[in-house]
A and B are shown apart, each in its own frame.
Chain A
Amino acid sequence: MKKYTLRILTFCLPFIVLWLLIFIIDPYNLFNVSTIIDNETKYKILNRSEESESRGQMLWHALEFERNPCKNIIIGDSQSFLIKTDLIKNLSGNDYFNFSVSGANAETKFEIFWLATRRIKLNHVIIQLSYMLGDVNIFHFAKDYLDQPLLYFTDSKILFDTFQNIRYKLTGSYSKDESTYVFPFTFDGEKKVNNLLNKYVKYAYPIKQMEKLKLIVNYCKINNITIDFLILPMNQFVYDYFALNDTNNFQKKFISELTSLGKTYDYSTIYNLNINKKYFIDYLHPNQFITDKSNTLILEKKTIYNN
């Protein structure tokens, strides 16, 4: 039996080495023991593609929040990704945690809220919502690993991330995909943006999501948590597309319903800057200037800036 056990252990040796590698590199700081690769690099690597940034940011922020829970939280998607918590701290004097995850739909954001409430008694929550609520809940990218930490060792995606980190450490380079929605329009880019927008044009009004949001608002009322909603601008092209497809009423209803639930900072057409492409990273995402501007306005408690 001893010989046989030894043989099985020999057979398992390559896997043990791989698991050790994952443990040492720890691309998402699950164990947070090793410092061979710095956090900045790890974060850069997980944002290398659309696929990796959604799951990567979800897991990264969830683990980060588990370690350093914060009473004030900004929950959002890639639109609020650039919100600088340092800037908010300078303006308000309070610490904020930016839990914005690329590709997070409304349900993902709601689950992030509940995750946060399980970890700490919240004080202020800003939920960034978009008219385009999305249909894929990506919260499981955090939940899977939080529930079953051993999945970290058996998931090939984590292994890929580990190797990308090693590659960056050794060569200083890594493979980065370009965003689908980036300027200027190429034939493919236009097709992809149109496909995406088309999906939302056909999208039914998110009744279920609004019901879930009401639950959150009620919870916040009972527990004395301030909850605000934030709508960030998209490039004018997107609004024109919606207008062309006659879905403006849909958007108005969405914003008015949000306003009835809580303070809503609607910056969708902030100072009419959304006409100018230079204020946007791509069709859907405002750049740092607009994001910072929005933050300042929030802290001045100015809600609607259409003109």
Chain B
Amino acid sequence: MTFLSFNYFLLLSITFVAYYAVNNNYKYWIIFLASMIFVTSISVNALQFSLLYAGLNYLGGLSLYKKKENSNSRKFIFWVLISLNIGILIFFKYINFIFENINSLFEIFQTSSKIELINLILPVGISYYTFQAVGYLIRINRGFEIPEKNFIRFSSFLLFFPKFLSGPVERSNHFLPQLCNLNSFNQDAVSVGLRLILLGTFKKMVIADNLFSPISSVYSNVHHYSGIPLISVLFLQLIYIYCDFSGYTDIALGSAKILGIDIIDNFKRPFLAKTITEFWKRWHISLSSWCNEFIFLPFIIKYRKLGNIASILGIFVTFLVIGIWHGANWTFIVLGLLQASAIIYEFFTRRYRLRVASKFPIWFINSISRILVFIFMGISIVFFFSKSLSDAWYFLSHLFTNIDYKFSGYELNINLQNFATAICCFIVLFIIEMMNEKGNNLSTFFCKQSKWIRWIIYYIMIILIYFFNTKILSFTYGNF
């Protein structure tokens, strides 16, 4: 069941009605049941696995809390639980990658040994709920959080259906208190939720999906392309992944919102970031802030004696984790390391860059910085989409070879009408984001308009979705 299916719409509608029909004390049961139905729709095995996983962390959290702080037994239980969580993730997601690399080493050393790859099915959403569970255990271990005693509530946190497939990576201290205090029907919250679902569907179906064809054409056979098609894709892919993932996130946020639950947003106008450091504070926020809280900060605190070296190592480790989190491939590792290098470069050249910037008008510096961030991220994302490092290298090394200025878009399977519509809609979206960045709260302004104006805009969005959708139902981040 994907977000863009009738079954999801039906599940959400039934959940909505049942949720507001029952007493506030039992609302979390509805959330739990809806989540179970959602996971079962993926597969019964997924349900069994995720319930076992939730059970492990539920009991783990309780037993951890019972032990004295700083006691050896607590440390032992904590590390066993963390190792189990990470071990499960590594087993399902990275074991074949590790075996493949060991086999490559065997080949290099010309030994006849070979490890057979394991035929595994990756449990859907595992990267997301593993990080959520690990965060929960770390917070309990630090004494920042009391474990949830109700298993139904805890499972609802870990397996909440709007965020089950592709996040956001929610924090227990943000989500669980809401489950204990579920409110009655709130018209404003439901309206905001429905608007978010519409906006997310629009971003995904009108913008992202109509930009997907050239990206998929190039990456499925990158060696057939050079010059303008590659340059076009370099610029399109970041817009595509943003609209695809933020579209998904909006639908997740909206679905939760209509049930009166707030979940962490993933995006805050990332194209307006002026540095890579700032970009990562605006892009996939739930993951980057999770890594900041549970990897980077503990790391630099532990090695604070090393000074700047601790920060540099901390950044590398954090982005290595972010890179690997995306998947078992060297391309993702390079993606992470590229980000780390850029952030470290910004850290050490900050004063020099500020001195240079002071000689130019601020609007000029802002624009140039944003363009440079966009180009850098475009180049980085090549490693996100490429199947291998050699493909990524081919892509980047053939950007300026065989440039044919008569490029018509034909070779990229572009449907010009849909493509133009997607680009126009993205420009409108970008302008709205720019206005919001400048402090104009367009959302409040929009809500103050008469019902008819709002409805006309909703209808236009729905008509565009109706006529320009390409029936792609899956989300890129659903693969993680």
Contact = CB atoms under 8 A, between A and B. Distances in A.
Contacts of A159: 466
A171 interface: no
Given A1-B185, A4-B187, A11-B458, A156 B466 contact: yes
A207 interface: no
B459 interface: yes
Interface in A119-158: 144, 148, 150-151, 154-156
Contacts of B190: 4
Contacts of A150: 6
A156 B467 contact: yes
B20 A1 contact: yes
Nearest to A149: B6
Nearest to A148: B6
A156 B418 CA distance: 13
B237 to A, nearest CB: 25
**Which secondary structure dominates chain B's binding surface?**
helix
A197 B469 CA distance: 31
Contacts of A156: 466-467, 469
B477 interface: no
A156 B465 CA distance: 9
A142 to B, nearest CB: 14
A109 to B, nearest CB: 23
B456 to A, nearest CB: 11
- Residue among B5, B185, B455, B466 facing the most chain A CB atoms (10 A cut-off): B466
A226 B303 CA distance: 77
B10 to A, nearest CB: 10
Contact of A14 (B185, B459, B469): B459
Interface in A192-243: none
A159 B5 CA distance: 19
Contacts of B471: 144, 151, 155
A11 to B, nearest CB: 6
A97 B156 CA distance: 53
Contacts of B455: 11
A154 B20 contact: no
Contacts of B469: 156
Interface size class of B (residues with CB under 8 A): 10 to 19
Contacts of B467: 156
A106 B185 CA distance: 55
Contacts of A151: 471
Contacts of B462: 15
**Which secondary structure dominates chain A's binding surface?**
helix
Nearest to B187: A4
Contacts, number: 21
A126 to B, nearest CB: 32
A153 to B, nearest CB: 9
Interface string B456-476: 001100100011010100000
A154 B466 contact: yes
Contacts of B185: 1, 4
B108 to A, nearest CB: 34
A151 B5 CA distance: 9
Contacts of B459: 14
Contacts of B187: 1, 4
A93 B471 CA distance: 44
Interface in B433-480: 455, 458-459, 462, 466-467, 469, 471
A1 B471 CA distance: 33
A151 B459 CA distance: 19
Nearest to A159: B466
Interface in A151-184: 151, 154-156, 159
A156 B421 CA distance: 16
Interface in A3-52: 4, 11, 14-15
A144 B469 CA distance: 14
Contacts of B6: 148, 150
A4 B186 CA distance: 10
A159 B187 CA distance: 33
A15 B5 CA distance: 17
A4 B462 CA distance: 20
A170 B106 CA distance: 75
A55 B275 CA distance: 48
Contacts of A1: 20, 185, 187
A66 B62 CA distance: 56
A154 B458 CA distance: 16
A46 B187 CA distance: 45
B368 to A, nearest CB: 42
A199 to B, nearest CB: 13
Nearest to A7: B451
Interface string A76-119: 00000000000000000000000000000000000000000000
A4 B258 CA distance: 13
A162 to B, nearest CB: 13
B246 to A, nearest CB: 23
Nearest to A3: B187
A155 B467 CA distance: 8
A156 B467 CA distance: 5
A14 B459 CA distance: 10
A44 B20 CA distance: 50
Contacts of A15: 462
Interface in A244-290: none
A4 B466 CA distance: 24
Nearest to A151: B471
A159 B185 CA distance: 36
B21 to A, nearest CB: 10
A82 to B, nearest CB: 31
Closest 6 CB pairs of A and B: A156-B467, A150-B6, A1-B185, A156-B466, A4-B187, A11-B455
Interface of B: 5-6, 20, 185, 187, 190, 455, 458-459, 462, 466-467, 469, 471
Interface of A: 1, 4, 11, 14-15, 144, 148, 150-151, 154-156, 159
Given A4-B190, A11-B458, A144-B471, 10 more contacts: A1-B20, A1-B185, A4-B187, A11-B455, A14-B459, A15-B462, A148-B6, A154-B466, A156-B466, A159-B466
12 contacts: A1-B20, A4-B185, A4-B187, A4-B190, A11-B458, A14-B459, A144-B471, A151-B471, A154-B466, A155-B471, A156-B467, A156-B469
